[in-house]
Amino acid sequence: MAYAVTQSCCNDATCVSVCPVNCIHPTPEEREAGSVEMVFIDPDTCIDCGACADACPVGAIAPVDLLRGPDTVFADLNREYYETHPESVTWDALTFPRTVPQGFGELRVAVVGTGPSAAYAARSLLMSSPARLTMIDRLPVAGGLLRSGVAPDHPETKRIEDTFAWTYDHLRVSVQLNVEVGKDVTHQELLDHHHAVVYAVGAAQDKVLGIPGEDLAGSVSATDVVAWYNAQPDRDHDDVDLSSERVVVVGNGNVALDVARVLLTDPDELARTDIADHALDVLRRSAVREVVVLGRRGPEDAAYSRSELVGMRSIPGVDLLVEEDPRTTEVVDGAQTGTKAAMLRDVPRVAVDWSAQPAPGKRVVLAFWTAPVSLEGDVAVTGVRTTGGEIATGLVVRAIGYRGAPVPGLPFDPTTHTVPNDRGRVLDASGDPIPGTYVVGWIKRGSRGGIGANRACAQETVEALIEDASADRLPVPSSSARDFTALLRWHRKDVVGLRRMRAIDRAERVAGAAVGRPRRKLATVPELLAVAAPTGRWLGRRR
């Protein structure tokens, strides 16, 4: 009974390292590893030991015989990967992480951010060096993308936070939350108290379409919608207007499908998740019955992953359709088995009158070869003019990707929206490394790759940092760790340490348990700080 990797795969390749027979690929060392959305198990080589299932941080691996419903397709996807990649049965050369020399003295590192890339970097530093870490975040809560980016109906993906939890409790880690670099503390002040600073600040801004009407009411970014339903505490939570029966999502990546799925899923199902209370209230009153997902290229170039497409096909009460187009028919019918295009072969194709009201029922329509030209309307959106005509709608969600923002004190490339770097070492205008300054995650490589891609990215940055430490290339801090704690308390009276961070987490979980949910998120910074206070207590209000 072979095992198979299923929908919630985070692609961090933890399972690869525990497999005794090399049957899980692509490995991080393989050329394709950075471009695929998941790993696969070779059913002909698997010896059914279950080591991979035990190691998987998100519970994505299961015996093939136990797969049910939409998950059964993953047995085929795992097998088909090896049919098209026969070279993946070979073994990679042994590699070992770089470590500092034995007897190395004190090494203090500040990690700015607490999302997956920061957690992977911290974990790598703790396991390969004697470093003492200061974990810093501008929010009073940790988690970054795991808390504010992962869709609420993906609890399996959020399980990876359990893998990171020990990082904050480590004896060599100091947690300093509710601290904003550039406002409460400068980059130079970080270096005055640490040998190195690793920035893991992500890419929090959305990309723009650059078309007429983009600023009309009813045109919103996916960044704002995701922050709204995930209760991101540093964002305004103005309600999203869901009075339009048809919503158009521009872009067809995983975030686009997340938005479509959340808008159409039965609110009673979402009520079992950690979705924001304010979003759940609006969704219960929603008029949305159809979400149109626009992709400017064909189905073979869709940006969503195959696993996300499987999830989209299994929403109770929601039909998945493809807009009829001769080019789509040609590509889908001729697609190689196992590809994204081939997975649409049995999805109904329909001709749609976009000027009319949506058909009865709830549905998602994938419209390929369709790019927006302008958003129509005087004050608010009334439609989207595309390369194929006009689609009547009152709400357009722009989901064409994220971009990084400048980091105070660091150089910034406005073209790539990243901090210029070489293997994580931040580079100055002359192309030379800035001593003690590093980046990891999306601010390093751009907004591509899911949660698991940050593991290899973090390992590369940490190896560069340790190499520089071993070669005595890091600046020597002029002040102590205790001085840094005092400096933060001088600038901010409401710094959130580990104890207060745990108090917030406990309060949200207790409030959630009272109503049968994993947690009930506090939606604003003042609410979070109130709970984090020594006497803070919040059990939530039932709505």
Answer whether residue 509 shows pLDDT above 60. Answer: yes
Phi, psi at 8, each rounded to 5°: -85, 10
As a whole number of angstroms, the distance between CA 5 and CA 389 comes to 41
- Tell me what the mean pLDDT of segment 376-392 comes to: 96
Question: For position 543, what pLDDT does the model report?
Answer: 36
Question: What is d(CA 18, CA 15) in angstroms, rounded to the nearest whole number?
Answer: 6
Q: What are phi and psi for residue 31, nearest 5 degrees?
A: -55, -35
Residue with tokens 């039932």: 542
- Identify the CA nearest to 380 among candidates 216, 495, 231: 216
pLDDT band at 90 (very low <50, low <70, confident <90, very high): low
pLDDT on residue 69: 84
Q: Is the pLDDT of residue 134 over 50?
A: yes
For residue 289, the SS3 value is coil
Domain 108-204+404-491: CATH superfamily, name plus number: NAD(P)-binding Rossmann-like Domain (3.40.50.720)
**Paired strand residues for 384:** 375, 391
Query: Cis link prior to 348 (omega < 30° from 0)?
Result: no
pLDDT band for position 542 (cuts 50, 70, 90): very low
Mean pLDDT for the chain overall: 92
Residues 43, 65: Cα–Cα separation, whole Å: 12
Provide, rounded to the nearest whole percent, the portion of the chain with pLDDT above 70: 95
DSSP 124-193: HHHHHS--EEEEEESSSS--THHHHTS-TT-HHHHTTHHHHHHHHHSTTEEEEES--BTTTB-HHHHHHH
Alpha-carbon gap, residue 303 to 333, rounded angstroms? 19
pLDDT category of residue 10 using cuts at 50, 70 and 90: confident
CA distances from 344 to 62, 170, 320, 323, 326 (A): 25, 47, 10, 11, 14
User: DSSP code of 100?
Assistant: P
Percent of the chain with pLDDT over 90: 78
Write out pLDDT tens, residues 139-175. Answer: 999 999 899 999 999 988 888 888 888 899 999 999 9
How far lies 268's CA from each of 94, 312, 513, 530, in Å? 50, 18, 16, 29
For the cut 50, the answer to whether the pLDDT of residue 33 exceeds it is no
* Per-residue pLDDT at 13: 86
Q: pLDDT digit string (tens) for 310-319? A: 889 889 999 9
Q: At the topology level of CATH, where does 207-400 sit? A: FAD/NAD(P)-binding domain (3.50.50)
Model pTM?
Answer: 0.91
Q: Which residues of 313-346 are buried (b: 16+ CB within 10 A; e: fewer)?
A: bebeebbbbbbebeebeebbeebeebbbbbbbee
**Residue 93's pLDDT band (boundaries 50, 70, 90)?**
low
Q: pLDDT band at 384, cuts 50/70/90?
A: very high
List the CATH code of the domain at 3-89.
Answer: 3.30.70.20
More confident residue, 73 or 187: 187
Q: What is the pLDDT of residue 27?
A: 83
Model confidence at 89, in pLDDT bands (50, 70, 90)?
Answer: low
Least confident span in 106-120, 157-171, 288-302, 355-369: 157-171
> pLDDT value at position 278?
96
Q: What's the whole-number mean pLDDT along residues 71-75?
A: 89
Per-residue model confidence (pLDDT) at position 534:
62
The pLDDT value given to residue 536: 46
Residue ranges per domain, the chain? 3-89, 108-204+404-491, 207-400, 498-532
How high is the pLDDT of residue 448? 85
Q: Report pLDDT for 83.
A: 87
Q: Of the given ranges (258-272, 347-361, 527-541), which has the lowest mean pLDDT?
A: 527-541
| Residue 439, both tokens | 């980046």
pLDDT reported for residue 96: 65
Higher model confidence: residue 458 or residue 31? 458
Q: How confident is the model at residue 91 (pLDDT cuts 50, 70, 90)?
A: low
Highest mean pLDDT range out of 54-58, 157-161, 282-286? 282-286
* 515-529 per-position pLDDT tens digit: 999 999 999 999 999
Instruction: Determine the pLDDT at residue 84.
Output: 82
Q: Identify the band that residue 34 occupies on the pLDDT scale cut at 50, 70 and 90.
A: very low
For residues 226-249, average pLDDT:
93
What's the pLDDT score for residue 484? 95
